[in-house]
């Protein structure tokens, strides 16, 4: 696989993390450089780590991972999305801030949820005979880090005007991502 193909793969894999980062930005009163870097490093790190793990596991676990990766990703994204919707629809004077949570627990769950597919991609790269896995995971990690950091700012600029609506949109986006992953893996044409 050439560099151009790896860049396209990196952009494709980073889209889930970008969407989640936009949701984070939507829920923030003010997006800081630290928040952008936090999302970028968590999501970029996991998007690089998961295909590396998948690559080295290779054919050993290929059948098992392909059998349920979509269900895990769907469940995690749906749970997070439903929680965001619930918080947005609760009565209150201001936008709930829980979805802007950058705690280790929250970021870990979101990073895993957005990188489950990357594990399967790593297995696919091993099966395809990719020789330079370190170039692949570096490009995937850097692209995801950059897009996720930008996503926080993009979401924040939009969300500062529409707090509750933005919160609802963030929840819907996460649920839609989970459904998309599930449907693609079940073979439903998109």
Written as one string, the DSSP assignment of 122-168 is HHHHHHTT-S-HHHHHHHHHHHHHHHHHHHHHHHHHHHTT-HHHHHH
Most confident of the ranges 13-17, 37-41, 64-68: 37-41
pTM above 0.85, yes or no: no
When pLDDT is cut at 50, 70 and 90, the band that residue 39 belongs to is very high
- Please compute, for residue 130, the number of CA atoms within 13 A of its CA located in the half-sphere on the CB side: 24
How far is CA 62 from each of CA 34, 58, 119, 136, 157, rounded to the nearest angstrom? 37, 6, 10, 19, 41
In a domain, 46, yes or no: yes
Over residues 125-164, the pLDDT tens digits come to: 887 767 789 999 999 999 999 999 998 998 888 755 555 6
Over residues 53-90, the pLDDT tens digits come to: 988 887 676 566 667 767 776 777 788 778 778 877 77
Q: Give every CB contact of residue 133 below 8 A, 6+ residues apart in sequence.
A: 51, 52, 55, 122, 125, 126
Residue 190, pLDDT above cutoff 50 = yes
In a domain, 9, yes or no: yes
| Mean residue pLDDT across the chain | 81
Question: What is the tally of structural domains in the chain?
Answer: 1
When pLDDT is cut at 50, 70 and 90, the band that residue 165 belongs to is low
d(CA 146, CA 181): 23
Q: What is the pLDDT of residue 146?
A: 97
**Which of 41-50, 84-93, 98-107, 129-138 has the least mean pLDDT?**
84-93
In a domain, 67, yes or no: yes
Q: What average pLDDT score do residues 6-25 get?
A: 85
Q: What are phi and psi of 74, to 5 degrees?
A: -60, -50
CB 96 within 8 A of CB 27: yes
In a domain, 153, yes or no: yes
CB 144 within 8 A of CB 47: yes
Domain span at 181: 3-185
**Chain-centre distance of CA 4, in angstroms?**
22
In a domain, 190, yes or no: no
In a domain, 134, yes or no: yes
Q: What is the pLDDT of residue 188?
A: 81
d(CA 59, CA 81): 33
In a domain, 17, yes or no: yes
Q: What is the pLDDT of residue 61?
A: 63
When pLDDT is cut at 50, 70 and 90, the band that residue 46 belongs to is very high
d(CA 19, CA 65): 24
Q: What are phi and psi of 118, to 5 degrees?
A: -65, -30
Q: What average pLDDT score do residues 20-48 get?
A: 90
Q: What's the alpha-carbon Rg for the chain, to the nearest Å?
A: 17
């Amino acid at each position: 696989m050439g560099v151009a193909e790896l860049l396209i793969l990196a952009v494709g894999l980073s889209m889930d993390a970008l969407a989640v980062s936009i949701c984070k930005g939507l829920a923030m009163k003010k997006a800081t450089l630290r928040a952008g870097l936090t999302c970028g490093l968590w999501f970029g790190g996991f998007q690089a780590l998961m295909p590396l793990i998948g690559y080295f596991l290779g054919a050993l676990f290929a059948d098992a991972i392909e059998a349920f990766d979509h269900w895990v990703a769907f469940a995690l994204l749906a749970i997070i999305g439903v929680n965001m919707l619930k918080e947005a629809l609760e009565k209150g004077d201001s936008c709930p801030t829980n979805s802007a949570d950058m705690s280790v627990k929250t970021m870990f769950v979101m990073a895993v949820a957005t990188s489950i597919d990357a594990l399967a991609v790593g297995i696919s790269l091993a099966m395809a005979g990719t020789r330079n896995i370190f170039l692949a995971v570096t490009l995937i990690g850097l692209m995801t880090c950059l897009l996720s950091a930008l996503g926080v700012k993009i979401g924040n600029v939009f969300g500062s005007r529409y707090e509750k609506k933005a919160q609802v949109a963030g929840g819907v986006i996460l649920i839609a991502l989970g459904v998309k992953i599930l449907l693609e893996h079940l073979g439903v044409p998109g």
